[in-house]
Amino acid sequence: MASVPHEVAIPRTYGVSARTQRTFLRIATGVILLVLWEVLVRWLAPPFVARPVTVARALPHVLANHLPPGTPTFWGAAEATVVASAEGLAIGIVGGVLVGLTMGRLRTADRLLRFYISTFFAMPIIALVPVMTLWFGYSSTVRLYIVALGAFLPICLNVYDGTRSLPASFVEVAQSYRARWWNVWFGIALPASLPYLLAGFKLAVGRVLVGAVVAEYIVNLKGLGSYIVFDSRTFHQPEMMVAVLFLALLGVSVNAAADLATRRFLPWYRRSE
Question: Over 80: is that where the pLDDT of 57 sits?
Answer: yes
Which of 2-6, 138-142, 154-158, 239-243 has the weakest average pLDDT?
2-6
**According to the model, what pLDDT value does residue 125 have?**
84
**According to the model, what pLDDT value does residue 273 have?**
44
- Transcribe 33-72 into DSSP letters: HHHHHHHHHHHHS-TTS--HHHHHHHHHHHHTT---TTPP
Report CA-CA distances (Å) from 55 to 50, 63, 89.
6, 12, 30
Residue 16 has φ and ψ, to the nearest 5°, of -90, 135
Question: Over 70: is that where the pLDDT of 45 sits?
Answer: yes
Q: Select the highest-mean-pLDDT range: 9-13, 16-20, 114-118.
A: 114-118
Question: Over 50: is that where the pLDDT of 2 sits?
Answer: no
The C-alpha R_g of the chain, in whole angstroms, comes to 23
Interval 221-228 mean pLDDT: 89
Question: Over 80: is that where the pLDDT of 96 sits?
Answer: yes
Count CB-CB contacts under 10 A for residue 195.
Answer: 17
Grade residue 69 by pLDDT with cuts at 50, 70 and 90: low
Grade residue 156 by pLDDT with cuts at 50, 70 and 90: very high
Question: Over 80: is that where the pLDDT of 72 sits?
Answer: no
Residue 140's Cβ-side half-sphere holds a number of Cα atoms within 13 Å equal to 9
Question: Over 70: is that where the pLDDT of 272 sits?
Answer: no
Interval 50-58 mean pLDDT: 86
Interval 49-57 mean pLDDT: 85
What are the structural domains of the chain?
Answer: 1-45 (no CATH), 74-265 (1.10.3720.10)
**According to the model, what pLDDT value does residue 21 have?**
80
What is the dihedral sign for C-alpha 237, 243, 248, 252?
Answer: positive
User: Between residues 86 and 2, which one has the greater pLDDT?
Assistant: 86
Interval 162-181 mean pLDDT: 80
**According to the model, what pLDDT value does residue 76 have?**
87
**According to the model, what pLDDT value does residue 192 have?**
83
Mean of per-residue pLDDT scores for the chain: 83
